[in-house]
Amino acid sequence: MPELPEVETIARLIRPRLEGRRIEDCEVRWTRTLGGLSRPAFARAVVGARLSRIWRRGKYVVVDLEHGGRASGALVGHLRMTGRIHVEPTTWDPGPYLKVRLALDDGTSFYFIDVRKFARLCFTDEPHVLLGDLGPEPLSDEFTPAWLAGALRSRTRRLKPLLLDQTFLAGIGNIYADESLFRAGLHPLARSDRISPARSAALCTEIRATLGEAIAREGSSFDTFYRTPEGNPGSYQDEFKVYGRAGKPCPRCAAPIARIVVGQRGTHLCRRCQRR
């Protein structure tokens, strides 16, 4: 699923192809993808706009827009589980799952594709409001051992649902939560307020390391869904220590990896290396 490393990869790869381009036309095949805006209202907002900057916040891809050199809102995309973004010649066939296409002024189009219908591409006047509830960026200077220790202490939640809560920390999903908790030697069901400062510092370090390594590998593609905008799979799935490895040996102690359900999410852990 596209989590922070996948979305970062997508943003990096589409940035050079999109920055400075102008939207000449748009095609909307599934209105709900727009997140509430009607097709005409969406078209009015985006057609004629210049794409000034492409960036990422949590699991969101953000495209800042300008009209006549003046900031005029942004496109904020969320791929949920199966969304994809491509930038290809306008003659390219996106297949049956195209939801929105933005025709650009250089003969290419921005394709927003989703096998399911959960992904969203929203226009907003104020992206910072839409993104305002997100927690800190795990790869920013804000995310320090001291911050994490305090944040964990101020809650009484179990670690895994807390890491998945985007208002707590932005960008972590099921895969990187399981991998980070394993690497830090923490049990997904451990209560956040009972984590020692040393463990919490380890969690901070391992979250940063896991996400950084995954970005270096262009994310994880363990199923047929995630592909980079170039159509290539990432390769971080080859580095998974616990995710999707139920029954296989723990890379640290060789005990079989367990799969449990936490907050309705499949959760992978080593019962020997990750104590409650």
Partner DNA sequence: ATCCTATCCTGGCTGC
Partner DNA sequence: TGCAGCCAGGATAGGA
Would residue 40 show up in a list of annotated catalytic residues for this protein?
no
From 29, 155, 265, 271, active-site residue? 265
Q: How many residues does the chain have?
A: 276
Which DSSP state fits 174? H
**Mask for 155-194, x = binds DNA (CB under 7 A):** xxxx--xx-x-x------xxx-------------------
Cα distance between residue 101 and residue 85, in whole Å: 10
Cα distance between residue 252 and residue 249, in whole Å: 8
For residue 271, the tally of other CB atoms under 10 A from its CB is 15
Check binding of 22 to DNA (CB under 7 A).
Answer: no
CA distances from 248 to 31, 118, 163, 181, 186 (A): 43, 32, 25, 17, 19
**Mask for 201-240, x = binds DNA (CB under 7 A):** -----------------------x----------------
Check binding of 264 to DNA (CB under 7 A).
Answer: yes
What is the SS3 assignment for 115?
A: coil
CB of 210 to DNA, least distance (A): 14
Would residue 251 show up in a list of annotated catalytic residues for this protein?
no
Cα distance between residue 244 and residue 175, in whole Å: 9
What is the SS3 assignment for 163?
A: helix
CB of 58 to DNA, least distance (A): 6
Would residue 3 show up in a list of annotated catalytic residues for this protein?
yes
Would residue 117 show up in a list of annotated catalytic residues for this protein?
no
Cα distance between residue 11 and residue 28, in whole Å: 22
Check binding of 135 to DNA (CB under 7 A).
Answer: no
CB of 25 to DNA, least distance (A): 25
Count of residues near DNA by CB under 7 A: 29
What is the SS3 assignment for 267?
A: strand
**Mask for 27-46, x = binds DNA (CB under 7 A):** -----x--------------
Under the rule (CB under 7 A), what is the footprint of DNA?
1, 3, 32, 58-59, 78, 80-82, 115-118, 155-158, 161-162, 164, 166, 173-175, 224, 263-266
Q: Which residues are catalytic?
A: 2-3, 59, 265
